[in-house]
Structures are given as structure tokens and as C-alpha cells.
């Protein structure tokens, strides 16, 4: 009788002395990208959901990312010179822009020039405006007299003081660089009067009368203390914030007898009036070299920490800081900056969304924008506007147009370039090698699209380990209730709600840690990445 030998496989001993067990495939799902942009160079500083680099990508509040909305134009026909500032006059549903020493208005298309006193000189500094008693009062940088606009006609104002509140004579205003309406008074700062140029002085008008001013109705803000000057006024709740470039102050009170000044900060200030903006709950301002700050009435918070390396490296150059502008528009903060060591004009826009993550998140656009405005004409929806910072393009842009292309001149369309880098993924330990299988992606399925995916490994962003594409063919239009025949189309939910599709990439290969770069399609197509699913096999540590 022939005996049979039983063949046994003996597992090699593990490092701990026991039997070695083959590792199991592990899963790493990535569904949250709400951390937004973070320029900190150290890969270990990036939190979950943050990206070291992205362009023209928006973050979905539900966690995914996709292309930003396109840009159009308000005025196809250009104005005579490059607009320098923008403001609104809502009693007449108008938007106004500065063109040298004059202004021009529009109700939604072309612009008509306003010239209150037939001045022909050019080179006037930034005009600023405030609406009071259904009139728009416009300061011309204290270089020329102010003027008022009623929606149809402009009138230049005199500069005579009237010290008798009981006998108003109207028609006058202190000249200054900043102007604001607050608590029934019109306020002008950084003034020029018969007393001379007073860079630290704030004047206020007669109560409820912006065209009469008393000689001694003023406050000097730290005159001669820091060698600085007032650059911005911003009404906020019960106080008027007064910004210098290095400090910030608040005027409180409700009458000349009760007006008083308190210092908000001796550490930070604002670059200019255009670098200050307010929402319903906060005031935002750009302080050099710190970046964007937020004041909520109780404390000042630094919002620019994740983007501050761009200032430290000179990518946002100090020499062009005066060009930086802010605007609170569409419940997000827009910050347009010069971007590049030798940049002299605005070429990048950072947008901060407070609804994303616990502290809000940043994204970046390659738009060239000057001063911006959330225009809300009466009986109409909001339109986000921005002056062009493209040399020679004398137009006002309309943002967030719901398109997939940009139109900067009213006719030709420009494809929006998009890309998004993930953070580095090292789900166990960065020292342990892993065999990465085919990743899976959940992408939007309402349009036919192909995305390129580049894979980097082991914290080296210069070498592409692998490149592949993920594609989707748009799902057919679904049958809608009370619209289509039962047997004509597949039944589904309303297509407008957005549909997703699961697609697979190629195997990545061996690496300790990986990073992905998504590049948007070469042609216009809606797309979105909602999740990434990694599968990997940890290797033995030797």
C-alpha cells in the first residue's frame, strides 16, 4: 500500500516571532474637499480636504469640486478710458464707474458720462461715493470739489462752512479722500479745507443734512502719532471704523456731543478704501503684510494664514500692494491681487467661502479684476461686477454667469483652464511601501467629459508616476413626471438635481504615498469630482 504524504505550506515567521499573515487590501475613501487651498509647503501641514494648489475650481458645500462659473461683460462698448473705481446708486438702479476726473453711469448695458463741472484735467485719484437721502455724493480724492448725483444730473458742490445748524443753506461739502454715511450724518476723512491738508481728520455734516458742515465738527485720529494717514471709512453696526495703514479705530456715539474714538488695533490697518469690505456680520480688510483680517465687533481674526506664504515669498509683491482690492459678493469674500514676483497688475483672485469647513475655505481664479461690486438694483437680483484689470480692456465684467467659458470682450469666448491637486495620501505610515490598485471615482454624469489624472509619489511633485484619463458619457435625459411617455425614456429623478457615475482609473503601482492632479477637459463641459476611492496593499516593512 502506497502512503500519501500531505503537502503543507509553512508560513514564514513574522518579525514578532509569530506566523506571518498576508496583508489584506485596505480601503481609503476621500469624500471631503472642503478644506480648500493651502499654500503651506510642508505636506504634513495639510489637513484633510485641503489642496496645495488649484485653479479655477470651486468647492461644493457637499464636499466635491468642479469648474468655476464663467465671466461675461456688462458693457460691450468700451468706455473712453480704463475705469478706476465702481459703486452703485440704488435709488435709480444704476452702477457708476470712475473715468479719470469724471464718472459714468449704466442701468445694465452701456455707460453715459457724467461731467459736473466740465473739468478736463486727468489723473484724479480714486473717487469714493456714499448715498444719503436718495442722492449720491462723490468725492474726487480731495483734488477737486465733491459733487452730487440724483440719477439724471450732477451738481458740483462748494466748500463753505455753515456753523448755524438752524439755518442750513445747502450746496457745500468738505473735500476729502474717504466718504461714508453713518447714523444720520455724512462723514469725510483725510480732508483738505482752508485749514490745510489734514490726513488724520474726520469731519461730519449737519445732522441729516449732508450739504452743510460746521467748522469745528471734526475729530483728529492719532494725529502725528504714527506718521500714518486715514485711508478708509467703513460703517459697521453702531460704530464708524476708521482705517489707517497700520492701525484701526472706531468712532461711536450718536451726536457731536457724544462722538468719541476708541482704538480697535495698533497692529493692523488697511491698504486702501478698496481693500475694505463688509458683510452683515463682519468687516474684512487687507493689512500689509498680514493679509486678510476679519473684525466681528469684538475681535480681529487672521483669515490669510493658509495663503500667507504667497506674501512671504514675494509672489504677492509688496511693490504692487496698492492694487489689492476686496469685495463681499454673493456671500463670499473676493480678494484680487497682483500674483507673481514681478507682477504690477492684478492677475489672481482668491475667494473665501465661510460656509466651507469650520473656518472657511479659499479657492483661486486666474481672473484679472480691479475694484468689485455686488450690485443689487431695486426690484432685481444681485449681479456681481468687477472692473477689468486687463490692459486696454475698458469694460465692466459680470461674474458668476453660469457658463463654462469666459467672455472678456462681449463676443469671443475663452476656455477656462482648470486643475486641482489633492493632498498627499499616506493612510498608514509614510515610511511603509504600498501597492496601490485601481482607484475609483464618483464624478458628475450630466455631461460627456474626459478628465486627465496625473499621479505623483513619495512627496516628489516633479515626477509623474502615471497618467490616465477618466471619462463619462452623459446619461440620457430622464423621463420627467407629466412630461414624457412611460415607454419613451428611462425613469429617473429630475436631471437638474445632478447625477453621479462611478468610474475606475488605472492601477497606480508601488509607492509609499501618492498625490493626484486632476486637469479639466480641453473643451467646455460641466464636470465634478465628488469622491475618490483608493485601494492599496501594505507591504512588509524590512
Per residue, the 3-state secondary structure of 290-349, as one string, reads: CEEEEECCCCEEECCHHHCHHHHCCCCCHHHHHHCEEEEECCEEEEEEECCCCCCCEEEE
- Residue linked to cell 445748524: 165
Residue 194 has phi, psi (to 5 degrees) of -60, -20
pTM: 0.91
The span from the CA of 212 to the CA of 220, in Å, is: 20
The span from the CA of 79 to the CA of 113, in Å, is: 9
Please work out, in degrees rounded to the nearest 5, the angle formed at the alpha carbon of residue 6 by the alpha carbons of 5 and 10: 130
Residue 300 has phi, psi (to 5 degrees) of -105, 130
Looking at the fold, whether 331 and 347 belong to one and the same domain comes out as yes
Looking at the fold, whether 458 and 356 belong to one and the same domain comes out as no
Considering the domain boundaries, does residue 516 fall inside one?
A: yes
Final residue before a domain boundary, out of 395, 415, 435: 415
One pLDDT digit (tens) per residue for the chain, 542 residues: 444 454 444 455 554 555 556 678 899 999 999 999 999 877 778 888 999 999 999 999 877 999 999 999 999 999 989 999 999 999 999 999 999 888 999 999 999 999 888 765 667 899 999 999 999 999 999 999 999 999 999 999 999 999 999 999 999 999 999 999 999 999 999 999 999 999 999 999 999 999 999 999 999 998 877 789 999 999 999 999 999 999 999 999 999 999 999 999 999 999 999 999 999 999 999 999 999 999 999 999 999 999 999 999 999 999 999 999 999 999 999 999 999 999 999 999 999 999 998 899 999 999 999 999 999 988 788 999 999 999 999 999 999 999 999 999 988 899 999 999 999 998 878 888 999 999 999 998 778 899 999 999 999 999 899 999 999 887 665 555 556 555 555 544 444 456 788 999 999 999 999 999 999 998 888 899 999 999 999 887 76
Q: What is the DSSP letter of 44?
A: G
Considering the domain boundaries, does residue 37 fall inside one?
A: yes
462: its cell numbers: 516633479
C-beta neighbour count of 483 within 10 angstroms: 9
Looking at the fold, whether 96 and 159 belong to one and the same domain comes out as yes
Cβ atoms 530, 64 nearer than 8 A = yes
Considering the domain boundaries, does residue 59 fall inside one?
A: yes
- Strand pairing partners for 51? 37
Residue spans of beta strands (DSSP E) within 100-257: 102-106, 112-114, 128-132, 135-140, 144-149, 154-156, 175-182, 185-193, 196-204, 218-220, 230-236, 239-244, 248-252
Q: What is the DSSP letter of 206?
A: B
The span from the CA of 8 to the CA of 14, in Å, is: 18
The span from the CA of 294 to the CA of 276, in Å, is: 10
Range of the domain at 424: 26-67+419-538
pLDDT of residue 181: 98
Count of domains in the chain? 2
Most distant pair of Cα atoms in the chain: their distance:
132
Considering the domain boundaries, does residue 56 fall inside one?
A: yes
Looking at the fold, whether 529 and 411 belong to one and the same domain comes out as no
The span from the CA of 219 to the CA of 230, in Å, is: 12
- Residue linked to cell 460704530: 239
Sequence-separated (6 or more) residues with CB below 8 Å from residue 37: 50, 51, 52, 53, 54, 306, 307, 350, 361, 362, 363, 364
Considering the domain boundaries, does residue 9 fall inside one?
A: no
The span from the CA of 416 to the CA of 70, in Å, is: 8
CATH for 484? 2.60.120.260
Looking at the fold, whether 39 and 79 belong to one and the same domain comes out as no
pLDDT of residue 6: 47
Amino acid at each position: 500500500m502506497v502512503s500519501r504524504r500531505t503537502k503543507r505550506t509553512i508560513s514564514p515567521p513574522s518579525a514578532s516571532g509569530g506566523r506571518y499573515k498576508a496583508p489584506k487590501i485596505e480601503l481609503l475613501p476621500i469624500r471631503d474637499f472642503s478644506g480648500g487651498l493651502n499654500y503651506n509647503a510642508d505636506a504634513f501641514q495639510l489637513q484633510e480636504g485641503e489642496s496645495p494648489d488649484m485653479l479655477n475650481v470651486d468647492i461644493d458645500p457637499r464636499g466635491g469640486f468642479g469648474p468655476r462659473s464663467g465671466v461675461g461683460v456688462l458693457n460691450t462698448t468700451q468706455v473712453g478710458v480704463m475705469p478706476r473705481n465702481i459703486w452703485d446708486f440704488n435709488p435709480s438702479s444704476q452702477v457708476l464707474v470712475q473715468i479719470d476726473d469724471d464718472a459714468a453711469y449704466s442701468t445694465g448695458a452701456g455707460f453715459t458720462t457724467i461731467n459736473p463741472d466740465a473739468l478736463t484735467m486727468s489723473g484724479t485719484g480714486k473717487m469714493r461715493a456714499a448715498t444719503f437721502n436718495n442722492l449720491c455724493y462723490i468725492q474726487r480724492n480731495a483734488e477737486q470739489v465733491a459733487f452730487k448725483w440724483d440719477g439724471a444730473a450732477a451738481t458740483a458742490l462748494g466748500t463753505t462752512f455753515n456753523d448755524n445748524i438752524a439755518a442750513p443753506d445747502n450746496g457745500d461739502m468738505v473735500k476729502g479722500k474717504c466718504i461714508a454715511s453713518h447714523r444720520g450724518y455724512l462723514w469725510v476723512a483725510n480732508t483738505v479745507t482752508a485749514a490745510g491738508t489734514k490726513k488724520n481728520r474726520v469731519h461730519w455734516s449737519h445732522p441729516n443734512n449732508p450739504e452743510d458742515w460746521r467748522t469745528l465738527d471734526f475729530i483728529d485720529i492719532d494725529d502725528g502719532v504714527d506718521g500714518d494717514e486715514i485711508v478708509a471709512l467703513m460703517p459697521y453696526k453702531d460704530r464708524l471704523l476708521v482705517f489707517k495703514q497700520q492701525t484701526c479705530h472706531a468712532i461711536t456715539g450718536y451726536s457731536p456731543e457724544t462722538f468719541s474714538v476708541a482704538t480697535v488695533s495698533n497692529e493692523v490697518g488697511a491698504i486702501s478704501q478698496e481693500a475694505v469690505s463688509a458683510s452683515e456680520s463682519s468687516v474684512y480688510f487687507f493689512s500689509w503684510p498680514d493679509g486678510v483680517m476679519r473684525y466681528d465687533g469684538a475681535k480681529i481674526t487672521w483669515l490669510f494664514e493658509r495663503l500667507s506664504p504667497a506674501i512671504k515669498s514675494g509672489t504677492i509683491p509688496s511693490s504692487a500692494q496698492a492694487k489689492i482690492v476686496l469685495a463681499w459678493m454673493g456671500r463670499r469674500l473676493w480678494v484680487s491681487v497682483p500674483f507673481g514676483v514681478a507682477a504690477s497688475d492684478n492677475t489672481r483672485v482668491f475667494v473665501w467661502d465661510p460656509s466651507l469647513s469650520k473656518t472657511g475655505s479659499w479657492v483661486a481664479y486666474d481672473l484679472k479684476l480691479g475694484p468689485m461690486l455686488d450690485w443689487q438694483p431695486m426690484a432685481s437680483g444681485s449681479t456681481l461686477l468687477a472692473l477689468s484689470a486687463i490692459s486696454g480692456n475698458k469694460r465692466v465684467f459680470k461674474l458668476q454667469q453660469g457658463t463654462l467659458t469666459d467672455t472678456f470682450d462681449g463676443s469671443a469666448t475663452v476656455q477656462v483652464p482648470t486643475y486641482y491637486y489633492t493632498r498627499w495620501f499616506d493612510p498608514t505610515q509614510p515610511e511603509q511601501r504600498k501597492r496601490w490598485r485601481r482607484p475609483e471615482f464618483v464624478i458628475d454624469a450630466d455631461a460627456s467629459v474626459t478628465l486627465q489624472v496625473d499621479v505623483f509619489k513619495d512627496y516628489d511633485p516633479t515626477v509623474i508616476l502615471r497618467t490616465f484619463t477618466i471619462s463619462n458619457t452623459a446619461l440620457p435625459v430622464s423621463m420627467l413626471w407629466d412630461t414624457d411617455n412611460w415607454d419613451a425614456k428611462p425613469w429617473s429623478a429630475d436631471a437638474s438635481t445632478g447625477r453621479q457615475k462611478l468610474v475606475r482609473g488605472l492601477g497606480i503601482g508601488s509607492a509609499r504615498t501618492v498625490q493626484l492632479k486632476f486637469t479639466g477637459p480641453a473643451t467646455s463641459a460641466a464636470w465634478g469630482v465628488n469622491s475618490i476611492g483608493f485601494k492599496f496593499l501594505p507591504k512588509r516593512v524590512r
